[in-house]
Amino acid sequence: MKLVSIIVPVFEVEEYLEECLSSITKQTYKHLEIICVNGMSMDNSATLVRLAAEIDPRISLINQSHNNGLGGGRNEGLRHAHGQYILFVDSDDWIAPTMVERLVDALESNDVDYVFCGLRGYDNHKRCMLSPERPFHSDLVEEIALRGVLDLREHPEYLTDIYPSAWLTLRRRADIEAIDAQFPEMRLAEDHLFHYICGIAANSALYLDEYLYIHRRRRPGQLLSADTTDRSMQLFDTIEEIFSCFDRYMPNSMLRSLKAKILLRLGNEKLSDIKKNKQLARAFLKKTSHFLNNYSISELRSAADKMVDDFAISVLAGYASMKFDEDQIAHQTVFKHEMPFVPVATKNDRYRTIKMDGTWRDIMIDFHYPFNLLETRLRFIIYIDSKESVRLRHAFLCDPRLDADNSEGQPDADQGESNVLEMSQEYAPGISIVEVSADSLRCLRGAPDPESVRSVYFGGVAHNVVLSMTMSCFFEVEWRCSVGENNLSAFRIT
């Protein structure tokens, strides 16, 4: 049985520490060393660790001479670790009794570099468990992970759609030491850079679809959670380091989109905090808009996670500004004079997957209301699980054109099935990204009206192929509005 080192950074968590340590000491996997790193806590946290160590000798306490934050605590723990495997646990969280056993078993039973699992949130304010979460930002990468091993050597971009949390993952200590991976200290998002450095150095990863980690949320005084302007702005140092990592290892064709994705994700996570501080908000948004102004609205929507809405994109990119009340708390988003804004735009992600068995199979997406393809761009992320390329087609079922003339024998132009626009092409195994506009389609039959599309079909005939598709719908009509125009001038931030 191999030794697992569990590293627990500790900072003023006396209310939660016993629950955390108890969940670790009660693991079904017994061969553990539990390294608690105290970052100069002023409460009874260090005393609680000492008392626990008297009962369980697997627990050790390291007292730092100054507080280096979560990142510094984890780095210190790594320097004292002796286990073949490393697991991080935050001191206000707790883990399921079988977490270590299940992760070790998954790692040793599969030829992969590391394993990670699902989680459940715990709302500390409401005192209730939250819904289970799979740690993915993308439905497509989630589906690939559920099928088996993630090939990170071939697709390092998968890493950008996996939660970068340090505490979901079991890694080999030798792998961490081989690349001298460390956490940034006294930084926000300190685990993101570690996630990418270790992930890019790996060839493969395995997701264990079990919810074994319980992450406490919305508690006062979380480790280094108090916001200051200086530390919030240091987030951009982490972002720049991530970008530098991407420049070296990510596919050149994806660099621009991946960088926007990371900045939008981290910026969106900070919006609720910065709106409480006018000075911080201005400095923070000046930095985000300086970078994102190099992108079009369409590019940003395409790059953004499904959790990043248009209002967040507009604020982060500088198309909108926050309005502050007398207490200098932002309560509205005001769209700037003569700046582009898409009032009806939504990033409408729809995910489907099918298994193709030699007969004609289609993924079908219906719309509640017909949409105008002339004013819309569709982006399809397609994953082909196959050993060979396959030819597939997109078909758009439309209403007939109002000026359609059936006198020349066009078949049933009044029926949607007979008014079809089509595009077909060859798809290689793996991921393809296809953007479709009206200009890229040909009329298959009938008199299809591209301004009134009712459904989309994607498929064909193939043997032993699993086909997955995510469709994102972007409305391209750009409105220009002044403050106060058309009641679009201000929106409340929730």
> Quick check: 331 pLDDT over 70?
no
Instruction: Give all strands (DSSP E) within 162-294, no chain letters.
Output: 169-172, 204-217
Residues 299-305, mean pLDDT to the nearest whole number:
83
At residue 228, the pLDDT reads: 58
> Quick check: 254 pLDDT over 60?
yes
pLDDT digits (tens, 9 = 90+) for 196-245: 999 999 999 999 999 999 999 977 655 444 455 677 888 999 999 999 99
> Quick check: 374 pLDDT over 80?
yes
Residues 124-134, mean pLDDT to the nearest whole number:
92
Lowest mean pLDDT among 127-136, 159-168, 175-184, 269-278: 269-278
Neighbours of 436 (CB within 10 A): 19
> Quick check: 134 pLDDT over 90?
yes
Lowest mean pLDDT among 66-70, 279-283, 314-318, 348-352: 348-352
* Of 448 and 229, more confident: 448
pLDDT digits (tens, 9 = 90+) for 47-91: 999 999 999 999 999 999 989 999 999 999 999 999 999 999 999
Computed over every residue of the chain, the mean pLDDT equals: 83
Residues 17-30, mean pLDDT to the nearest whole number:
98
Lowest mean pLDDT among 38-47, 139-148, 299-308, 411-420: 411-420
Q: How far from chain centre, in Å, is Cα 104?
A: 25
pLDDT digits (tens, 9 = 90+) for 375-405: 776 777 788 888 888 899 999 999 898 876 6
> Quick check: 340 pLDDT over 80?
no
How does residue 459 score in pLDDT terms, banded at 50, 70 and 90? Answer: confident
Q: Do 14 and 84 form a contact (C-beta atoms < 8 A)?
A: no
At residue 464, the pLDDT reads: 80
Widest pairwise Cα distance in the chain: 92
How does residue 332 score in pLDDT terms, banded at 50, 70 and 90? Answer: low
How does residue 364 score in pLDDT terms, banded at 50, 70 and 90? Answer: confident
Reduced to 3 states, what is the DSSP secondary structure of residue 319?
coil
At residue 415, the pLDDT reads: 43
The percent of residues above 90 in pLDDT, for the chain, comes to 50
- Residue in this structure with the two tokens 């299809």, named with its chain if needed: 448
Spatial separation of the C-alpha atoms in residues 237 and 160, rounded to whole Å:
18
Q: Can you give the three-state secondary structure of 144-186, one letter per residue?
A: HHHHCCEECCCCHHHHHHECCCHHHEEEEHHHHHHCCCCCCCC
At residue 273, the pLDDT reads: 79
Spatial separation of the C-alpha atoms in residues 406 and 414, rounded to whole Å:
9
How does residue 474 score in pLDDT terms, banded at 50, 70 and 90? Answer: low
Does the pTM exceed 0.85? no
Spatial separation of the C-alpha atoms in residues 433 and 157, rounded to whole Å:
13
Any alpha helices (H) in 31-172, and if so which ranges?
45-55, 69-80, 99-109, 139-147
Spatial separation of the C-alpha atoms in residues 231 and 188, rounded to whole Å:
7
At residue 343, the pLDDT reads: 33
Spatial separation of the C-alpha atoms in residues 246 and 263, rounded to whole Å:
13
At residue 369, the pLDDT reads: 66
Neighbours of 266 (CB within 10 A): 19
Spatial separation of the C-alpha atoms in residues 399 and 405, rounded to whole Å:
14
Lowest mean pLDDT among 110-114, 115-119, 409-413: 409-413
Phi/psi region, residue 358 (left: phi>0; alpha: psi -120 to 50; beta: rest), is left
At residue 451, the pLDDT reads: 87
* Of 358 and 202, more confident: 202
Q: Please compute, for residue 212, the number of CA atoms within 13 A of its CA located in the half-sphere on the CB side.
A: 24
Spatial separation of the C-alpha atoms in residues 430 and 14, rounded to whole Å:
49
Reduced to 3 states, what is the DSSP secondary structure of residue 355?
strand
Q: Which residues are CB-neighbours of 269 under 8 A, at least 6 positions away?
A: none
Q: What domains can you pick out in the chain, each with its CATH number?
A: 4-217 (3.90.550.10), 229-342+479-491 (no CATH), 350-475 (2.60.120.430)
Lowest mean pLDDT among 79-93, 284-298, 326-340: 326-340
At residue 306, the pLDDT reads: 74
Residues 430-439, mean pLDDT to the nearest whole number:
82
pLDDT digits (tens, 9 = 90+) for 89-110: 999 999 999 999 999 999 999 9
